Structure 1
Amino acid sequence: RTADTASVWEGRALLAAVAVAEWSVPALAAVLAVVGVAVLARFGMMLLLARRHHRQRNRRGFSWGPEVTGPVSVIVPAYNEKECIAHTLNSLAASTHPIEIVLVDDGSTDGTAEIAEALGLPNVRVIRQENAGKPAALNNGVRHARYDIVVMMDGDTVFEPDAVHQLVQPFADPGIGAVAGNAKVGNRSTMIGAWQHIEYVIGFNLDRRMYDLLRCMPTIPGAIGAFRRQAVLEAGGMSEDTLAEDTDITIALHRAGWRVVYAEHARAWTEAPASPGQLWRQRYRWSYGTMQALWKHRRSVTDRGPSGRFGRVGMPLVVLFQIVTPVFAPLIDVFTVYAMIFVDFRASLLAWLAVLAVQLFCAAYAFRLDREKYRFLLMLPLQQLAYRQLMYLVLIHSCVTAATGGRLRWQKLKRTGEVDAPRTGAS
């Protein structure tokens, strides 16, 4: 009788599973179809606007106004950057634009400030403070800046000689409050570095061209960005409310009526995380910090004027394509595998390859705009299979943290200092 009871329950469980499958599979297919159409539409919009942006900014005779030649302040926040700080400061010393360098040592314990002073570089001021975090270091630098335009960067980043000059030219337009530069991955010789290089070129810089034309740039990269000092002060400085102070200040400037643009020829080379663990910590902080910033500025959705424009254009785009669709993306992979096994292997494989082909086309165009070598695109299929899955898990982890109200501390990544010199072009 026990066996009969077990068989009955097994049968019931099987029938229930079949019933759930009959209901859930079509529903899931419909949801994924919507997500797929949205993603493809985004690819199309990115390509169209990126092409328009490139043509507009690179046409002969284009100018933001009179050439900006006045000196600017470059703020370098640094905490235990002994491996990188000499490369960073030497790259700035080679700048073709007149600058003062304000190094804010945030309580380093490895001699970062002493290394900077020992270099004996001109126009370098070292300001020491007790460890208070990157936003506090940047605010301290802004307070000590002598000039009206401030460039902010990371302590592990090196600038090309003309990066500052290219970065500040848009300020000839009095309506522009901040400029995003072109951050490049310097340590791309490893597989994980090459994957991040692909991501930076496609996901960051292609996106920024689109957001620039839509006037809703969500983030100025911490590695290379420039601001009107007045605009930063009016916004209350770099806030410690979120873990993404760069996204927070960018949205705040939009809401205050300032325009934020992208300078593709202002290039800086940064050291990307070299291990899966470091990459996880960095992207977890980025994802969670972005969610915090969006929540902080949620009232922009109902505002009028520039604030409302960001709230009703920029914020939905960020939420849809940086949070919602990536969360559903693993389901697309699972459903594709399911379809290959139980439905139609050939048709499912062709569909997956078609999506990969679209991504490859977008990637190739992004590499063309940034004048990068196409050989890195050979790693794109493997990136989609391995690296992308890690990013899914990071995003899901961030969503769980946000939903449960958890708190995450700012974390310092380990650096090697291998990005040792600015480059004159892509490699």
Structure 2
Amino acid sequence: MVVSDAVVLPIFKPSRALSKVGPSAISRMMAATADLQRQGRDIVGLHVGEPDFETPENVIEAAIRAMRAGETHYTALDGSPEIKAAVRDKFARENGLDFTPDEIVVTTGAKMLLFSAFFATIQMGDEVILPAPFWGSYSDIVEMMGAKPVILPTRADDGFRLQAEDLERAITPNTRWLLINSPSNPSGTIYRKEDYEPILEVLERHPQVWFMVDDMYEHIIFQDEPFVTPAQLRPDLRDRILTVNGVSKAYAMTGWRIGYGGGPAPLMKAVRAVLSQSTSCTCSIAQAAAAEALNGPQDVVRRYRGEYRKRRELIIAELSTIPKLAYNPPDGTFYAFIDWRGHVGRKTSAGRVLTDDESLCDYLLRECGVAVVPGSAFGSPGYFRISFASAEAALREGMSRIRTGCAALS
């Protein structure tokens, strides 16, 4: 009898939750860009949605004080009393919302709050309505729960804002959530009072549908009228509205991983149960830093916004010089969402035909040396996203490469 010495390797079998989910398009673009840079290629990155500013000094000092004071231990899993008080004061001061402590939860990044709220409330067969374009993680998280993301395309002529009649038609007995991000990643769209009101009227008629609002870019706005969030417009609907926010974008604190939200106590109780069996509390030091960001001087927020405004004007000026690209000037965020369909079917100098946004972005990356993100990653094929959270020199060079790349197409 012959005995084989071959080693039998175990077969990895992913869970059902991961059967339709993989790394995000942004992550893939980051990996491809890093790989080319390791090969010595000069790549201008206009793909990452991260402020290029440093975290404010007063926030850093608050973290140092917390460490020296021994604040390096577990906190309550939904946030220390200090950070929850800071969040409560922020909501009251800036949004006119009065939350009790049991209606506030602090998480390891805002994404964890989105994930926990969905985990706590949706199940197989439920539906979540996502107006497109939307941040790609929304649909992936919904898919991981075994639920169905119902993607509602919006129109550039409507400023990429969801229309009430489209929402009404999309709601079914299985609909559990509507999720809107304002200002929007990737379109820069802001929902105003008059935009939210008809949407809230539709939701009033469908009590099984809850409303999740992602206000992460609240402070990066370029309009003169004040920012609004749905819970302040319809207090009578607050019992099914979750307002999500965080410190990452406004205070250049992406690596500190602090998100927070206010919502009805039963929902937040369920979110705490999810946190108790997943991340537990967020980093105690990051909580102290975030409390200082929310409580401290806000002049840095205004200064960052002023810089983004200048970069926005630069991007608009550059785009105006590139034929066959269309766009809506962003009202907020540090993104521009570009319609490139005027170039569909054109050929690169190597003879490659550009058939979709993935092929365009690959061309811009590998042949032109500039990284952007395809619109299909945001539920809107035919577009690509530019981030202008970079220094002026990088923006000018990146836009120059896009202009040259488009001109080279035949």
Higher relative contact order (CA 8 A, sep 6+): 2
- Which structure is larger by alpha-carbon Rg, 1 or 2? 1
Higher fraction of helix: 1
TM-score range, shorter chain: under 0.3
Q: TM-score, normalised by structure 1?
A: 0.27
TM-score (norm 2): 0.28
